[in-house]
Structure 1
Amino acid sequence: MQRRPCSPGSSPVELRDCLEELLKFTLQSHINGTLDIDHDLGFSTDFSSHLLNHNDCPDVSRLYKDLVSTLLKSVSKASCGSLDDFEDEEESNEIAEGRAELVNVLKTVNFELHVQEPFFTQLKDGLKRVEGRCAAGNYNRIQSGALILFNKCLLFEVQDVRQYPSFYAMLKAESLDNVLPGVKTLTDGVQIYRNFYSEEKELSNGVLGIHVKKSVAQPYIILARIISAYFGRSMMKI
């Protein structure tokens, strides 16, 4: 049975709709040591690991849910100028500024796409540079300069969009290494897309090769700063 990808979501992106995925990605980046901030989150990578695997332990699961709830409340209160739950005005200002920055970055998002593993990790690591999609619906609106939020956590800028008559033609022109790293043959690559698109839909609509580059402004980095400013000082509150 084919798993047909939906037409890409479009703006606006609401913080509440992507906060949990952003948090998961931030915690995983903390564990991997890939958070590009000057200081850590204020708790250990082991603690981040426990939070990510919260379903294995009821106590940790409750803590994780409290963390999500408290984080959402903290950034919401910061946007309203409330200082009640913060230790000092400096802390409140940091979170208010972070929240405003996060919301503003999300406002720049033009489209949302979901990519399965291992291809999402390859995008994150800069190995995958081209996303292939059938040229149908909102995909035809994607153009150079557009910002795409992948998996509700990682922001990319579109560098170019190229049209092809088929996935085979796209893979041959763009190279497997750029589109589907690790896939050995063009035939195998086409078969991956066949899991999502019928040959009829592919040939009737054509195919897009969407060239992307990771954006400098990343929502998860901003969230990491908010966590560091608030939870790094206040973990005992939750």
Structure 2
Amino acid sequence: MERQMGLKEEYLDLIRDGKKKVEGRLYDEKRRQINPGDTIVFEGKLKVRVKSIRKYPSFKEMLEREGIERVLPGVHNIEEGVRIYRQFYTEEEEKKYGVVAIEIEPILEE
């Protein structure tokens, strides 16, 4: 199944370059529909294949377990990574839904 998602331009480049291998999101109703093998189209221009999905209770634990370089390349510590996610999701949302690590790989089209 193909799904649409938004993403900042800087992260599109990191995915395209193979540096960002995991996309972290809130595990809300929309993300509960994603399965391994699905295709996600970011910003209508970058297609990726979902390799696997792993659930966590918090962004902090997700970053610790997945490795910050795989999720947020260039970010140097977990606290900074959590602050980035706080720009998008509140602590209350995180506690309500939990989070998901979506392991992805770009589908490079000729």
Equivalent position amino acid for 2:39 in 1:
L
Q: CA deviation at 1:160?
A: 0.1
> Within the alignment, does 1:173 sit opposite 2:65 as a pair?
yes
TM-score, with normalisation over the residues of structure 1? 0.45
Cα offsets for 1:130-180 (capped at 9, x unmatched): 000000021111010000111101111000000000000000000011000
Identity of aligned residues (%): 36
Q: Among residues 3, 10, 23, which one is paired with 1:131 in the alignment?
A: 23
More helix, by proportion: 1
Q: Which has the higher contact order (CA 8 A, sep 6+)?
A: 2
Larger radius of gyration: 1
Counterparts in 2 of 1:215-230, with a 5 A limit? 215-216=107-108, 218=109, 221=110
> Within the alignment, does 1:183 sit opposite 2:79 as a pair?
no
Where does structure 1 lack aligned partners over 5 or more consecutive residues?
1-108, 222-238
Counterparts in 2 of 1:33-72, with a 5 A limit? none
Q: CA deviation at 1:214?
A: 1.3
Q: CA deviation at 1:111?
A: 0.4
In 2, Cα distance between equivalents of 1:182 and 1:117: 15
Residue 84 (structure 2) aligns with: 192
Q: Among residues 143, 154, 161, which one is paired with 2:53 in the alignment?
A: 161
Residue 147 (structure 1) aligns with: 39
- Cα RMSD of the aligned pairs, angstroms, is 1.1
Q: CA deviation at 1:203?
A: 1.0
Q: Among residues 213, 218, 226, which one is paired with 2:105 in the alignment?
A: 213
Q: CA deviation at 1:117?
A: 3.1
Point out 4+ residue stretches in structure 1 off by more than 3 angstroms.
none
